[in-house]
Amino acid sequence: MMDPRWYSPGALRCSPQLLLALVVLLTVAACSGARSRPATPCMSDAECRAERICHEGKCRFVEEALAELATPVVGPDVAESGGAPRSANGFMGDAAHTGRSKNRGPSSSPSLAWTYQTGARVFASPVVGNDGTVYIGSLDGQFVALNADGSLKWRYAAGQKIYPSALVAGSSIIFGTHQRELVSLSLQGQTRWKLPLEDVVDASATLGPDGRVYVVANGAYAVDLLGRLHWHKPTADHVRSAPAIHPARLLIIGTTEGSLIALRPDGSLAWSVQLRGAIEGAASVDDEGYIYTGTGRGEIVQVDQTGAVQWKFKTGDEVRATPAVARDGTIIVGSYDGNVYAISPSGALRWKVATGGRVRASARIDADGRIYVGSQDNFLYCIDPSGSVLWRYNVGQDVDSTVEIGSDGTLYFGSDDGGVHALR
Site residues for other proteins per CB under 8 A: 45-46, 51, 53, 62, 65-66, 118-119, 140-142, 152, 154-159, 179, 181, 183, 185-186, 188-196
How does DSSP classify residue 100? B
Q: Where are the alpha helices (DSSP H) in 151-273?
A: none
Contact call for residues 390 and 402 (beta carbons, < 8 A): no
Give 104 or 180: the residue with its C-beta nearer to other proteins: 180
The distance of closest approach from Cβ of residue 175 to other proteins in the complex, given in angstroms and rounded to an integer, is 13
Give 71 or 186: the residue with its C-beta nearer to other proteins: 186
The distance of closest approach from Cβ of residue 308 to other proteins in the complex, given in angstroms and rounded to an integer, is 38
Give 189 or 211: the residue with its C-beta nearer to other proteins: 189
Give 9 or 159: the residue with its C-beta nearer to other proteins: 159
How does DSSP classify residue 89? B
Contact call for residues 207 and 169 (beta carbons, < 8 A): yes
Give 197 or 261: the residue with its C-beta nearer to other proteins: 197
Give 161 or 358: the residue with its C-beta nearer to other proteins: 161
Helix (H, G, I), strand (E, B) or coil at 134: strand
Give 116 or 379: the residue with its C-beta nearer to other proteins: 116
The distance of closest approach from Cβ of residue 184 to other proteins in the complex, given in angstroms and rounded to an integer, is 9
The distance of closest approach from Cβ of residue 43 to other proteins in the complex, given in angstroms and rounded to an integer, is 12
The distance of closest approach from Cβ of residue 42 to other proteins in the complex, given in angstroms and rounded to an integer, is 12
The distance of closest approach from Cβ of residue 287 to other proteins in the complex, given in angstroms and rounded to an integer, is 39
The distance of closest approach from Cβ of residue 143 to other proteins in the complex, given in angstroms and rounded to an integer, is 9
How are the residues of the chain apportioned to helix, strand and coil, as percentages rounded to the nearest 5?
10, 35, 55
Contact call for residues 125 and 372 (beta carbons, < 8 A): no
The distance of closest approach from Cβ of residue 67 to other proteins in the complex, given in angstroms and rounded to an integer, is 12
Exposed/middle/buried for residue 40 (C-beta within 10 Å: 0-12, 13-18, 19+): middle
- SS3 annotation, 11-56: HHHHCHHHHHHHHHHHHHHHHHHHHHCCCCECCCHHHCCCCCEEEC
Give 62 or 112: the residue with its C-beta nearer to other proteins: 62
Residue (of 271, 276, 285, 375) closest to 321 by Cα position: 375
- How many Cβ atoms sit within 10 Å of the Cβ of residue 249? 15
Exposed/middle/buried for residue 312 (C-beta within 10 Å: 0-12, 13-18, 19+): middle
